[in-house]
Amino acid sequence: MDLQSTIAGFRNVAPLGDLEQAWQWSLNPVLHFAGALTRDGKRLLQTNQRGKHDENLARAVLSFARDHEDELLGEGRFIGFGEGLSAPGYAFNTGAAAVPEVHGHHKAQNPQLTAVTYIVFPAYACEFSGRESLAEAEARYAKMLHPAEIGREPVPFLKMRFDNPRTGGGSNNPGRALTSPRILLQEIHEMEGAPGSFVEFENRHGRVWRVEWDNGWSIAEEGGPDSAPREIELAELLDFAAARLRD
């Protein structure tokens, strides 16, 4: 596929500033796109923005992705990532790239282009474990991270399982599943007054903590130096959980 000729046929396409072999285009006033070829010219690094548009951020993301191709596009990860992204006016600290199997862009009109397109986006280090399965990467990309929203807050990587005999709530899967920090904090609150209830949560580093209720909250790290349960007050517990997700 001749990528340059293909991109030249996009609607409203124009060069992306002084970045070599890079372009920007838009389908409507809401959806904005930019792309740059990889160093070998065989793949397209594409970044998407919805609503608010910032050409400087797009240029920074594409420049970072091109400079860190080995990290972002290396085999073995469905969402590749590398720390060190800097974009003035933003708190993003990481560049990320979703593989074709995850993003599916261009699939309806040009599936050949899909196969060589990597969607790159600004992100936060706490959002990725590097161990995501294909299904987990799809869920993170399509439902949880909202990577085209350039004003977004971090969505830390979190897997969790829980059971609460009082509310009847609990996990249906045998292991921990992806969820949002809001659900974790909500279920910790719900444990109060429910003997036998527990919450397990795992952060991006694979560290796991188990919280239990028995006339108060206790916490222990599985396989860690603090594996013996210790009593903990709710406010401290909530702060501790939030901090471990940002590690």
What ranges do the domains of the chain cover? 3-144, 159-246
Q: What pLDDT sits at residue 17? A: 93
85-91 long-range contacts (CB < 8 A, ≥24 apart) are: 85/60, 85/61, 85/122, 85/123, 86/60, 87/56, 87/57, 87/60, 87/61, 87/122, 88/56, 89/57, 90/57, 90/122, 90/150, 91/124
pLDDT value at position 227? Answer: 79
Instruction: Provide the 10 A C-beta neighbour count for residue 33.
Output: 21
- Alpha-carbon distance of 49 to 51, in angstroms, equals 7
| Tens-place pLDDT, residues 42-88 | 999 999 999 999 999 999 999 999 999 999 998 889 999 999 999 99
- pLDDT exceeds cutoff 90 at 226: no
Position 122 pLDDT exceeds 90: yes
Examine the pLDDT at 225 and tell me if it is beyond 80: no
Please state at what angle helix 234-246 crosses helix 181-190, rounded to 10 degrees: 160
Q: What percent of the chain has pLDDT over 70?
A: 100
Mean pLDDT, the chain, rounded, equals 96
Question: Looking at residue 27, what is its pLDDT?
Answer: 86
pTM beyond 0.85: the answer is: yes
User: Residue 212: left (phi > 0), alpha (psi -120 to 50), or beta?
Assistant: beta
Give residue-wise pLDDT tens across range 135-162: 999 999 999 999 999 999 999 999 999 9
Q: What percent of the chain has a predicted confidence (pLDDT) above 90? A: 91
Q: How much is the pLDDT for 69?
A: 97
Average pLDDT score over residue span 176-188: 97
Asked whether residue 173 carries a pLDDT value surpassing 90, the answer given is no
